[in-house]
Structure 1
Amino acid sequence: MRQRILNLRFRTLVFGLLSSGLFGLQSCDKQDVYRDIDYNRISAIVNDNYNLSIFRAALDRTGMDEYLQEQEGPFTVLVPSDDAFARAGINGTTALKARSSAWIGSTVNYHVLNGNYELSKFPYLINQEVNSRGGKVFVSRWIKGQDTVLAINGARVLLEDIPASNGRIQIINRVLEPYFHETLADAVTADTTTLFAEALRRSGLMETLRGEGPYTLFAPSNHAMRRYGYTSIQQVKEANQGTLRELCEFHIAVDRRFINDYILFIGDTHTGSQRMINTFTATVKLIANANEPGGFSGIRLAAPGNVTDVHVTRQDILAGNGVLHIVDDVLRLTR
């Protein structure tokens, strides 16, 4: 919808009348300036939807709202809903303001793609690489039961291919975290899983995780490593290298796997498997979503040596050559 907006600009000219000592005000010269405003631009559509208010505030904070209004593009913008921001701990625009400008800027850029991507026409493949203004994103289009599912970095697309005059909008159910590390070796080193990171170094597998990949890494938390028996960095450094390599190899899988990928792949039994680089497999069990009948919210892992299932406590930490998940126990081959 286009609306002609009248912009009145008054110019007042003051002339000195020396002969009379009086000042006269010349009447205003009205100039009618018409400017087209396109209410079908990406920015305008986001502004017009109350459940996208937090992303709208993020666009405003970075100046990207004006850019997406003025530029022809085309662009594809991945827009997290307000519920998606709430799941990320950002409950409203006030909470967003507490975030740093750097975080908001990198997050907004990561959600903006140059080009018009019609996701509903993507091939039926998992994790197809597309470049955003902030790095690589991975698009999946897959059939699950009777439904065609679209996902980006494991986040579900709630509404796809909303047309705008300068591109498209995709509404997603999670805020995508930009990745800051090109390799999983750097990502796990920067994380709080210091004991497992030292085990990877000691075993020689850090070099593997610096390779091209892609890989999926299930990294046990420090608490999980302590329960397993490695209570300090020094103890890990003094451990047998072969023993550590056996442990670590059972936590690395070839290929990039977001948690949602397992939900898409696994069939009616709700149980699947993941082969690790040591050729042994861990069992993958889907977790039912209590708020979505027939849906699933995540996965649990099981291995021959584990008495109880292993839970994913943090998921989908993206690196340039793979994905990192943090788990609450060590996957064990034997008891």
Structure 2
Amino acid sequence: MLMQKTLHLWFSGLTAALLLLSGCDKKADADPSIASVAVANPDFSMLEDAAVRGGVVGVLSNKNPNDPEGNFTVFAPTNDAFARLGLRTAADLNALQTPFLTTTLQYHVSNGSRRISTLPAGTVTPSLLGITRRMVSRNGNLYVNGSRILRTDITAANGTIHVTDKVMLATGADIVQSAVALSTAQVFVKPELTYLVEAVLYCELAGALSASPGSPQLTVFAPTDQAFRDLLRQLLGSASTSPADIRRLPKDVVTKVLLNHVVPGGRFTSELPENATVASAGSTPVLFGAFDNGVLPVRGAGNGSASANIVIPDVQCTNGVVHVIDRVLLPQ
């Protein structure tokens, strides 16, 4: 899968670039590279740490060999963007598998220098990962996928930087494959979504959530393992110790619950309707709250007033978008 690939030929400049980063005089650098801009700006310290650990410093320090003018365009997440994923220090990056961190960084980079005036809403842009991103307008702000663009057109010696408020995520796989990758620790070092994968297999829904020719794009709200444990404790009266505990519930009940987490169309948070109700794949309603700071609370009709928070938003898959949430959405 694309998430397991790393950069190849471009890594040859990594050692020299690291020496440059550690020893250069930033004030003397009158025409800094993209990497040097990140080093000089304290609000990009997490991006700098991620680039070092992900092995892309050499790429962003040098001219782009795949562009006639040697340029890149980079959507650069701030420290606050990384913090939204619980990544606040360089040590926190160890929670991510290095290949996934590398491909995540690639997803923020494209060939050529693109000023924001050439990226209006509706534009689809490629990335070094090979997966496209789309520009979205909402409430007078411009977004790339679900990430709001905070600052634009920062010029560097080897391209242009646009600053964003979220880290963009893409897997290069379909929804089921992406969930399996999370559950088998290919993304985070600690497995996640293990209960969801077990539930999908139990209810034989893997085919419906997988990509195939002509299959529709989907938005999936994926409850964390803790969200399923909380539900099982409530329904079974005891703490769950294994994803297999899902199978203690009637299959038709679990199926109805799972379908309540799927809505048609692959939509980023920037595209989800606020204060609105959408019919799920199970024909039961999913209710959205107010759009605030790039996310919306979401709840099922059976959740009462208790909404789920989107804890990992906007994961781009080949057949839609996944939003990881902290509560199971219950149907009526």
TM-score, normalization by structure 1: 0.69
- Asked if 2 retains the 8 angstrom alpha-carbon contact of 1:184 and 1:209, the reply is yes
Q: Report the counterpart of residue 206 of structure 1 in structure 2.
A: 206
Unaligned runs of 5+ in 1: 1-36, 288-294
* Deviation of 1:214 (Å): 2.0
Aligned length: 279
RMSD: 3.3
Runs of 4+ in 1 over 6 A off after TM superposition: 97-100
Q: Report the counterpart of residue 15 of structure 1 in structure 2.
A: none
- Give the number of the structure with larger relative contact order, counting CA–CA contacts within 8 Å between residues 6 or more apart: 2
For residues 159-198 of structure 1, the aligned pairs below 5 Å read 159-179=151-171, 182-189=173-180, 190-191=182-183, 192-198=192-198
Instruction: Find the aligned partners of 2:198 and 2:94 in 1 and give their Cα distance.
Output: 37
CA offsets, 1:183-225, max 9 Å, x none?
A: 1112233333333323322323211111244211123332244
Higher strand proportion, which one? 1
Q: Report the counterpart of residue 278 of structure 1 in structure 2.
A: 282
- Asked if 2 retains the 8 angstrom alpha-carbon contact of 1:58 and 1:104, the reply is yes
Partner SS state of residue 140, structure 1: strand
In the superposition, relative to structure 1, how do residues 43 and 329 fare at CA in structure 2: closer, same or farther (>3 Å)?
closer
* Deviation of 1:114 (Å): 1.4
Q: Which of 109, 131, 140 does residue 136 from structure 1 map onto?
A: 131
CA offsets, 1:41-85, max 9 Å, x none?
A: 434443443432333454456664454444242211121223333
- Asked if 1 retains the 8 angstrom alpha-carbon contact of 2:308 and 2:329, the reply is no
Q: Report the counterpart of residue 145 of structure 2 in structure 1.
A: 153
Q: Which of 36, 47, 57 does residue 55 from structure 1 map onto?
A: 47
* Deviation of 1:303 (Å): 3.1
Matched AA of 2:178: A
1:257 aligns with 2:305: no
Q: Report the counterpart of residue 331 of structure 2 in structure 1.
A: 333
- Asked if 1 retains the 8 angstrom alpha-carbon contact of 2:124 and 2:132, the reply is yes
In the superposition, relative to structure 1, how do residues 241 and 55 fare at CA in structure 2: closer, same or farther (>3 Å)?
closer
Partner SS state of residue 142, structure 1: strand
In the superposition, relative to structure 1, how do residues 101 and 38 fare at CA in structure 2: closer, same or farther (>3 Å)?
farther
- Asked if 1 retains the 8 angstrom alpha-carbon contact of 2:232 and 2:246, the reply is no
1:105 aligns with 2:115: no
In the superposition, relative to structure 1, how do residues 92 and 193 fare at CA in structure 2: closer, same or farther (>3 Å)?
closer
Partner SS state of residue 132, structure 1: coil
Matched AA of 2:203: S
In the superposition, relative to structure 1, how do residues 259 and 63 fare at CA in structure 2: closer, same or farther (>3 Å)?
closer
* Deviation of 1:284 (Å): 0.4
TM-score, normalization by structure 2: 0.69
Q: Which of 296, 302, 307 does residue 304 from structure 2 map onto?
A: 307
% of aligned pairs identical?
A: 24
Unaligned runs of 5+ in 2: 1-28, 64-68, 184-191
Instruction: Find the aligned partners of 2:203 and 2:96 in 1 and give their Cα distance.
Output: 38
Instruction: Find the aligned partners of 2:38 and 2:197 in 1 and give their Cα distance.
Output: 42
Query: 103-112 vs 201-210, which deviates more?
Result: 103-112
Q: Which has the larger radius of gyration?
A: 1
- Asked if 2 retains the 8 angstrom alpha-carbon contact of 1:195 and 1:236, the reply is yes
